[in-house]
Chains A and B, each alone.
Chain A
């Protein structure tokens, strides 16, 4: 569906060259939800804008549905964009238009006749759950409702691809989950490809099949969410995984001052059952281990679990880590003891 080959975007600031995107090669599968995660300034915003030609690559090629977005003419690009929806962190609705008229705007651009527009707008607003608010202006809608209008507008011309630019970053946690679930549902029902960028691991965990981790303009790690999470290779990825844990409230300062601290993560099919591996290890290796925290969270592939354990004996901690690694459980040594 989408293939990026050696894509770079160089900005010149004064005499310096800054690579916002640095030699990125990536394949994004059709019909799936792919997350690109990175901190601000990692280049993910520039990268996603190259997928609809809002930014042109300095070198390399960006192929979307067989079209080279970096070399397409203005008219070609405008035509291609009708089939690529985009939603934004700050919604970017026209405040001078009602919800209905905002959605209709996308259809006006596509040249759809008025009569057809009407019916289609109703259908779209129903799809995103905005019945009854059709005639409200954006200023009268909550953040979540505004994003629903944004989603309806992005879906107006039945796109094959939906780009989400930090779509939930301006929303509260509960609204974030509602919008994420809506996106997930749209992905399943309409079978369209979704590419989202975010700095929040929670977003990736909840709705993404694939993830690419960006740092300083490069994609440093990518793959299935379950695999990348079970065995993160890069420090930045581990930092992001820790981020979701911190949202759960584990504070190392509350742990006993001596001994090792381990974080175990297990996800994917049958993930919930794998925590038996922990008790198995404790019994088999005769360990002394304290459970400090354990929790399950919802991901696309079912529940994913996390245990934070304290082992007074660092040698036992290493033995436990080795044993669990053979069971496909992610082990993160928070403190060596």
Chain B
């Protein structure tokens, strides 16, 4: 009954390609997301520590990191994809497929997450950091045992926002050859005038985004003991 109704409403949609595209989008989002989490955390920590008035305040270094971050954040993603083609070919060996999308996804999203990490760390009470130093804690203790755990809910919320942005980026990457739901919606759906395929791909993207948001919110709430 339901299957009949679906095939009537979406006559061109085939389950296998839809699932494959969903899987590709999830793969790109997860792989890029993992790398963005690590790189963004490192860059965000460096930004925070070197910013004026913080533990390793260093104006030239902060300025350099900050400018680099802003430049990568300012480049529109579709342009970044094209700009990074030579780099991608050198590193991945091809400019097609899900893996070829990863460098651009990471370069596009890591600076964004780094800013969110910096912001999250700024919200950590200076008094707690002072108390840690007064107890004899060094920079490593401050970062690993104070900043990250105390900022954990904000780090998770930031990651949620970043992952959702990444899903959007994978769609753009898909349109120029990475595969996934963006590819399905644009090349298989739009360009071949199969509106139902575009619609199905859109619904799959929405589902992914809602699940990420739901899980992210839940984890952030659980971590928040304030």
Q: Is the CB of B135 within 8 A of A95?
A: no
Q: Is the CB of B141 within 8 A of A137?
A: no
Q: Which of B111-119, B123-131, B211-219 contacts A (4 or more CB under 8 A)?
A: B123-131
Q: Does A250 contact B (CB under 8 A)?
A: no
Shortest distance from the beta carbon of A275 to any chain B beta carbon, whole Å: 44
Q: A78-B136, A105-B145, A106-B135 are in contact. List 9 more A-B contacts (CB 8 A).
A: A88-B130, A92-B125, A94-B150, A95-B150, A95-B225, A96-B149, A96-B225, A109-B141, A139-B225
- Interchain CA distance A82-B132 in the complex, whole Å: 11
Given A86-B131, A88-B127, A109-B141, is A94 in contact with B146 using a C-beta cutoff of 8 Å?
A: yes
Q: Which residue of A lies closest to B127 (CB)?
A: A92
**Beta-carbon contacts under 8 Å, A64-104 to B:** 74, 78-82, 84, 86, 88, 90, 92-97
Q: Is the interface of B mostly helix, strand, loop or mixed?
A: helix
Q: Is the interface of A mostly helix, strand, loop or mixed?
A: mixed
B interface, CB within 8 angstroms of A: 125, 127-128, 130-138, 141, 145-146, 149-150, 152, 223, 225-226
Shortest distance from the beta carbon of A326 to any chain B beta carbon, whole Å: 48
- Which single member of B130, B136, B149 contacts A94 (CB below 8 Å)? B149
- Interchain CA distance A18-B141 in the complex, whole Å: 33
A interface, CB within 8 angstroms of B: 52, 54, 74, 78-82, 84, 86, 88, 90, 92-97, 105-106, 108-110, 137-139, 153, 157, 163
Q: Which residue of B lies closest to A87 (CB)?
A: B131
Q: What residues of B have a CB within 8 angstroms of the CB of A74 in the complex?
A: 138
- Interchain CA distance A232-B39 in the complex, whole Å: 61
Q: Which residue of B lies closest to A111 (CB)?
A: B136
Shortest distance from the beta carbon of B31 to any chain A beta carbon, whole Å: 29
Q: Is the CB of A78 within 8 A of B137?
A: yes
Q: What residues of B have a CB within 8 angstroms of the CB of A90 in the complex?
A: 125, 127
Shortest distance from the beta carbon of B177 to any chain A beta carbon, whole Å: 44
Q: What residues of A have a CB within 8 angstroms of the CB of B132 in the complex?
A: 105, 109
Q: Which residue of B lies closest to A96 (CB)?
A: B149
Given A88-B127, A139-B225, is A96 in contact with B150 using a C-beta cutoff of 8 Å?
A: yes
Q: Return 28 A-B CB contacts under 8 Å, by A number.
A: A54-B130, A78-B138, A79-B136, A81-B135, A82-B135, A84-B134, A86-B135, A88-B130, A90-B125, A90-B127, A92-B130, A94-B146, A94-B150, A95-B150, A96-B150, A96-B225, A97-B149, A105-B132, A105-B135, A105-B145, A108-B145, A109-B132, A109-B135, A138-B225, A139-B226, A157-B135, A157-B136, A163-B134
- Interchain CA distance A153-B152 in the complex, whole Å: 23
- Interchain CA distance A157-B150 in the complex, whole Å: 23
Shortest distance from the beta carbon of B78 to any chain A beta carbon, whole Å: 39
- Interchain CA distance A108-B127 in the complex, whole Å: 19
Shortest distance from the beta carbon of B57 to any chain A beta carbon, whole Å: 15
Q: Which residue of A lies closest to B152 (CB)?
A: A96
The 3 closest A-B pairs by CB, nearest first: A92-B131, A81-B136, A92-B127
Residue among B137, B141, B146 with most chain A CB within 10 A: B137
Shortest distance from the beta carbon of A305 to any chain B beta carbon, whole Å: 39
Q: What residues of A have a CB within 8 angstroms of the CB of B134 in the complex?
A: 52, 54, 81, 84, 86, 163
Q: Which residue of A lies closest to B125 (CB)?
A: A92
- Interchain CA distance A153-B128 in the complex, whole Å: 13
